[in-house]
């Protein structure tokens, strides 16, 4: 995945709870089997009317948030379906960081695997950032320093698992990491399990 550098830009405010992955990427577009080029479907039914015209009131259709690399959202963002398209579509739209007080768990993991930084901060802080975002202020997200800052607010540090931080900064791929470091452990586990639960190794799937 693309390494995560420093982000600078406006942050699009989406002050709504439970924005689920069906809202982020409507199911009917799941027929597309590509992972690239999905940006135009992000929040599709919020962004576009039935005739394809833009809905002027939706935040991503408004200046100065059209190209915001950051999204600030209500609690439980990305809940619902496990579709990774929800992350690919944000990426395709140019969003590399989402701030919320909580995330759908699968979505959160999917972000980390695709170079999108999910920042979890307490709700009152998210509310303060949201206000700043609504004013159209410029934000800076510095993953190396673990800090998010916006004009007019003191820089805030955010928590992130140290390993996930490194993986994001370096663009490491999880499968590579596991295969490179854990091959012997996996083989040893299989030997042991095959002895203890042999029925798991006698599959004849028809």
Residues that bind another protein (CB under 8 A): 16-18, 20, 22-23, 26-28, 30-35, 45, 50, 74-76, 79-84, 87, 102, 104-106, 109-110, 113-114, 161, 163, 174-176, 178-179, 182, 185-186, 189-190, 193, 197-200, 202-206
Q: Please report how close the Cβ of residue 160 comes to another protein at its closest, in angstroms.
A: 13
The smaller minimum CB distance to another protein, of residues 23 and 97, is found at 23
The smaller minimum CB distance to another protein, of residues 56 and 202, is found at 202
The smaller minimum CB distance to another protein, of residues 33 and 63, is found at 33
Cβ atoms of 147 and 157 closer than 8 Å: yes
Q: Please report how close the Cβ of residue 128 comes to another protein at its closest, in angstroms.
A: 15
CA distance 20 to 24: 7
Q: Please report how close the Cβ of residue 125 comes to another protein at its closest, in angstroms.
A: 15
Cβ atoms of 41 and 95 closer than 8 Å: no
CA distance 29 to 32: 6
CA distance 9 to 163: 26
The smaller minimum CB distance to another protein, of residues 63 and 197, is found at 197
Q: Please report how close the Cβ of residue 65 comes to another protein at its closest, in angstroms.
A: 20
Closest among 147, 191, 144, 203 to 4, alpha carbons compared: 144
Helices 162-170 & 105-112, crossing angle to 10 degrees? 50
Helices 105-112 & 85-93, crossing angle to 10 degrees? 50
Q: Please report how close the Cβ of residue 151 comes to another protein at its closest, in angstroms.
A: 25
The smaller minimum CB distance to another protein, of residues 57 and 199, is found at 199
């Amino acid at each position: 995945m693309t390494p995560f550098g420093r982000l600078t830009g406006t942050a699009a405010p989406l002050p709504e709870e439970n924005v689920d992955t069906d809202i982020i990427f409507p199911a009917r577009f799941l027929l597309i089997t590509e992972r690239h080029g999905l940006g135009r479907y992000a929040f599709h039914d919020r962004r576009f009317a039935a005739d394809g015209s833009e809905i002027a009131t939706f935040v991503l259709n408004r200046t100065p948030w059209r190209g915001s690399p950051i999204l600030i959202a209500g609690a439980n963002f990305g809940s619902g379906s496990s579709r990774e398209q929800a992350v690919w579509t944000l990426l395709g739209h140019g969003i590399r960081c989402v701030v919320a007080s909580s995330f759908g768990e699968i979505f959160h993991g999917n972000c980390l695997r695709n170079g999108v930084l999910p920042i979890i901060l307490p709700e009152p802080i998210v509310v303060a950032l949201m206000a700043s975002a609504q004013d159209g202020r410029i934000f800076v997200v510095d993953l190396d320093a673990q800090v998010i800052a916006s004009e007019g607010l003191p820089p805030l540090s955010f928590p992130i698992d140290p390993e996930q931080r490194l993986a994001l900064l370096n663009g490491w791929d999880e499968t590579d990491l596991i295969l490179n470091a854990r091959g012997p452990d996996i083989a040893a586990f299989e030997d042991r399990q095959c002895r203890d639960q042999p029925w798991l190794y006698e599959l004849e799937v028809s």
